[in-house]
């Protein structure tokens, strides 16, 4: 009798638990958990945060596209076409639809998933801890798969990794556990930016294959030197025979200038680098001016559009003030880029005035010095910029550490990174110190 009653009680208990669990799951769709801070049901909260972020990110991307298109039309002096919607936003000229959707899905998907998974975890674990946030973030991070381009995914992942490192470092520093030597320096962020830029600019001249193609394209487009000239500089610097015919054919097609150069020259002179302009001062100021003209539309769009979309109410209250603030920010950032390009070009020209032989480290130092133009930027932006460039510098790291280990017999660099990583072939076995230097 007693046994029967106990079995009945346990059955009832199980049924009650099952009902409770079912109620909890169904309440995910109809109401919120007691630990949830949001007002509506959990599912409604996830969907609404997905939609909000999707629309905002989508709007920002499309807005930037439209503004850039308007700048392009204005540049061609066709101001009347700015009023022509067909020219401004036609499918043919404004190709942002797919990218805007993907970016919307990335941000919306991340936020929606994150909130949804946190609500589910609260129900399953019956408590709110940091682990919930961690797991929700991990799973929601898979929304990066909405980006189709692998290099974009890599860039974003590296940027977020740098952010994570910054968070951990700041935490350790605040708790007085660990800090880098010189972290209290006033211009530590500028120094970091300078070192990162040195590496990137070195890779740009000597090892372009180690930089992502889109980033390389951005540097080539902003600067005054074209790829065939860079190739010739690389060849002369490495002591390889320079393809003089290709270089002079390229220069004469652009500027009608004749170039007389030996194939075994050890320094491409200024006449080869800026054939169209005879004076180095003229070339330097041209480089700075053209960088300003090329990057201003981009910076203006990047400053103005996100502010308008994300703070629409503020913008409606003071549209002129918002516009002027964005304009000031864009002029400041563009001046920084143009000064960077000017200093880099000036340094390279100066080197050609005083030296007879090229050296690859010149391009590294030129980058480090040109990067000091970052002092024009706001203090808060400097560390942002350093964090942005740092992953790219780290990505091209192998280039400098490898090329610093030059083979003393031939003077040539071991370009085959894979052979050293696999530890398989000659250079590593012949010179074990090079392997250590590479990983150090
Ligand atoms: Zn919830
Ligand atoms: Zn020059």
Shortest-distance ligand to the CA of residue 268 = 2
* Residue 31, pLDDT score: 78
Centroid of ligand 2 to alpha carbon of 259 (angstroms): 14
The dihedral through the CA atoms of 22, 27, 28, 32 has a sign that is negative
CB 236 within 8 A of CB 267: yes
Residue 163 CA to ligand 1 center (angstroms) comes to 28
| Per-residue pLDDT, 127 | 86
Residue 423: band (very low, low, confident or very high) from pLDDT cuts 50, 70, 90: very low
CA of 225 to the centre of ligand 2 (A): 11
**Ligand 2 centre distance from Cα of residue 279 (Å):** 6
Percent of the chain with pLDDT over 90: 26
Q: CA–CA separation, 161 vs 405, rounded Å?
A: 29
Ligand nearest to the CA of 29: 1
Residue carrying structure tokens 């890779």 = 203
Nearest ligand by distance to the CA of 36: 1
CB atoms closer than 10 angstroms to residue 362: 18
For residue 134, the CA-to-ligand 2 centroid distance in Å is 54
Distance CA 94, CA 83 (A): 15
Q: How far is the CA of 282 from the centre of ligand 2 (A)?
A: 9
- Looking at residue 361, the DSSP 8-state letter turns out to be H
8 A C-beta contact, residue 336 and residue 381: no
264 pLDDT exceeds 60?
A: yes
Compute the distance from residue 243 Cα to the ligand 2 centre, in Å: 20
Cα separation, 149 vs 362, whole angstroms: 34
- Compute φ and ψ for 88, nearest 5 degrees: -75, -45
Residue 344 confidence (pLDDT) above 80: yes
Q: Which ligand is nearest to the CA of 28?
A: 1
Gap from CA of 269 to ligand 2 centroid (Å): 8
Higher pLDDT, residue 285 or 28: 285
Q: How far is the CA of 117 from the centre of ligand 1 (A)?
A: 9
Share of the chain above pLDDT 70, in %: 86
- Secondary structure (3-state) at 68: helix
- pLDDT surpasses 90 at 365: yes
What confidence score (pLDDT) does residue 409 get? 31
Lowest mean pLDDT among 40-54, 173-187, 264-278: 173-187
Amino acid 26: pLDDT: 59
Which residues neighbour 14 within 8 Å (Cβ) at sequence distance 6 or greater? Answer: none
Q: Smallest Cα–Cα separation from 185: which of 382, 3, 321, 32?
A: 382
> Region 104-117: what's the mean pLDDT?
93
- Nearest bound ligand to the CA of residue 35: 1
The rounded Å distance from CA 226 to ligand 2 centre is: 15
Ramachandran region, residue 256 (left: φ > 0; alpha: ψ -120 to 50; beta: rest): left
Q: How far is the CA of 313 from the centre of ligand 1 (A)?
A: 28
Centre of ligand 1 to C-alpha 58, Å, is 26
65's tokens: 């596209």
Question: Residue 89 in contact with residue 62, Cβ under 8 Å?
Answer: no
Distance (Å) from CA 113 to ligand 1 centroid: 12
Q: Separation of 118 CA from ligand 1 center, angstroms?
A: 7
Using only C-alpha atoms, what is the Rg of the chain?
Answer: 29
**What are the tens digits of pLDDT across the range 25-72?**
556 677 788 888 888 888 999 999 999 999 999 988 898 888 888 888
Q: Average the pLDDT over 257-275 and give the result.
A: 81
- CA 378 vs. chain centroid, Å, equals 19
Using N-to-C axis directions, what is the helix angle for 213-222 and 150-174, rounded to 10°? 90
Q: How far is CA 53 from CA 103, 115, 246, 301, in A?
A: 10, 12, 51, 20
What value does the mean pLDDT take over residues 180-196? Answer: 81
User: What is residue 34's DSSP assignment?
Assistant: T
Tell me how far the alpha carbon of residue 53 lies from the centroid of ligand 1, in angstroms.
18
* Ligand 1 centroid, distance to 17 Cα (angstroms): 21
**Is the model's pLDDT at 440 over the cut of 50?**
no
CA distance 204 to 364: 10
pLDDT digit string, tens, across residues 377-402: 888 888 888 888 887 887 775 444 43
pLDDT at 347: 94
Find the 136 Cα to ligand 1 centroid distance in Å: 13
Cα 312 to Cα 47, 317, 321, 379, 439, distances in angstroms: 22, 9, 13, 26, 50
Question: Ligand 2 mean position to 229 CA, how many Å?
Answer: 13
Report the separation in Å between the CA atom of 366 and the middle of ligand 2, taken as the mean of its atom positions.
14
Q: Is the pLDDT of residue 340 over 90?
A: yes
Q: How confident is the model at residue 23 (pLDDT cuts 50, 70, 90)?
A: low
pLDDT the model gives residue 166: 78
Ligand 1 center from residue 109 Cα (angstroms): 17
Q: How far is the CA of 277 from the centre of ligand 2 (A)?
A: 8
- Any idea of the CA torsion for 319, 82, 71, 65, to the nearest 10 degrees? 80
C-alpha 438 to ligand 1 mean position (Å): 49
Indicate the SS3 state at residue 258: coil
Of residues 141 and 435, the one with the higher pLDDT is: 141
Q: In this predicted model, what pLDDT tens digit does every residue of 142-169 receive, in sequence order?
A: 999 998 888 788 878 877 887 788 788 8
Residue 376: the pLDDT is 92
Residue 200 Cα to ligand 2 midpoint, Å, equals 22
| Closest C-alpha among 296, 242, 240 to residue 272 | 242
**What is the distance between the alpha carbons of residues 247 and 290, in angstroms, rounded to a whole number?**
23
Q: What is the mean pLDDT of residues 81-97?
A: 80
Query: Cα torsion at 141, 143, 147, 151 (round to 10°)?
Result: 20
pLDDT band at 343 (very low <50, low <70, confident <90, very high): very high
d(CA 289, CA 339): 9
Length of the chain: 440
């Amino acid at each position: 009798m007693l046994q029967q009653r106990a079995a009945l009680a346990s059955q009832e208990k199980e049924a009650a638990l099952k009902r409770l669990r079912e109620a909890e799951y169904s309440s995910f769709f109809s109401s919120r958990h007691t630990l949830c801070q949001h007002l509506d049901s959990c599912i409604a909260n996830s969907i609404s945060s997905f939609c909000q972020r999707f629309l905002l990110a989508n709007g920002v991307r499309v807005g930037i596209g439209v503004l850039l298109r308007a700048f392009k039309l204005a540049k061609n002096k066709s101001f009347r076409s700015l009023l022509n919607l067909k020219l401004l936003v036609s499918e043919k000229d404004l190709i942002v639809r797919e990218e805007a959707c993907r970016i919307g899905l990335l941000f919306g998907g991340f936020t929606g998933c994150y909130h949804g998974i946190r609500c589910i975890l609260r129900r399953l674990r019956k408590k709110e801890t940091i682990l919930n946030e961690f797991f929700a973030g991990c799973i929601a991070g898979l929304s990066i798969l909405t980006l189709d381009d692998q290099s974009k995914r890599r860039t974003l992942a590296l940027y977020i990794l740098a952010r994570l490192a910054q968070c951990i470092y700041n935490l350790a520093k605040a708790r007085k556990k660990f800090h880098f030597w010189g972290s209290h320096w006033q211009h530590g962020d500028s120094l970091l930016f300078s070192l990162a830029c040195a590496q990137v600019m070195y890779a740009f001249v000597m090892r372009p294959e180690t930089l992502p193609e889109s980033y390389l394209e951005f540097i080539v487009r902003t600067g005054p030197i074209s790829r065939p000239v860079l190739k010739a500089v690389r060849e002369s610097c490495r002591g390889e025979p320079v393809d003089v015919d290709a270089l002079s054919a390229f220069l004469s097609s652009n500027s009608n200038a004749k170039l007389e150069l030996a194939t075994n020259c050890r320094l491409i002179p200024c006449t080869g680098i800026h054939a169209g302009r005879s004076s180095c001062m003229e070339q330097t100021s041209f480089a700075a001016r053209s960088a300003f003209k090329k990057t201003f539309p981009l910076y203006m769009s990047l400053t103005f559009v996100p502010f308008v979309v994300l703070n629409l109410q503020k913008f409606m209250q003071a549209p002129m003030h918002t516009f002027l603030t964005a304009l000031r920010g864009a002029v400041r950032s563009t001046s920084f880029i143009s000064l960077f390009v000017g200093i880099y070009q000036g340094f390279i020209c100066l080197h050609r005035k005083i030296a007879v032989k090229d050296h690859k480290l010149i391009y590294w130092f030129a980058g480090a010095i040109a990067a000091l133009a970052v002092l024009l930027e706001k203090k808060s932006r400097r560390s942002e910029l350093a964090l942005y460039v740092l992953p790219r510098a780290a990505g091209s790291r192998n280039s400098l550490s490898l090329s610093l280990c030059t083979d003393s017999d031939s003077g040539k660099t071991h370009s085959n990174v894979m052979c050293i990583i696999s530890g398989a072939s000659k250079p590593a076995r012949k010179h074990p110190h090079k392997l250590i230097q590479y990983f150090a």
